[in-house]
Amino acid sequence: MRLYRFLSAPDDSTFCHKVTAALNKGWHLYGSPTYAYDKKTKSMRCGQSVVKDIDGQEYGPDTKLSDW
């Protein structure tokens, strides 16, 4: 199965740590990062898509993506 996640966080080290943790768990960057203004918090936020292939497993709606 191929898994997809979209990671987002404030524009600070939190975002970098979140993406780094995913990369160290075997996830791969997918596409370009995004950067947008959050009106509610009046701050910038970053986002990055990541994917991961898992052999021998079948995806279902109950699959907890953060477990992988």
- pLDDT, one tens digit per residue, over 35-46 is 999 999 999 999
Residue 57 exposed, middle or buried by CB count within 10 Å (0-12, 13-18, 19+): exposed
pLDDT of amino acid 65: 86
**Regions of the chain with pLDDT less than 50:** none
28-38: strand order across its sheet: 2-10, 43-53, 28-38
Q: Which residue do the tokens 């292939």 mark?
A: 53
pLDDT for position 66 = 80
Mean residue pLDDT of the chain comes to 94
Which pLDDT score is estimated for 26? 95
Nearest of 47, 40, 39, 41 to residue 15 by alpha carbon? 47
The Cα 40–Cα 22 span in angstroms is 27
Note the pLDDT of residue 68: 84
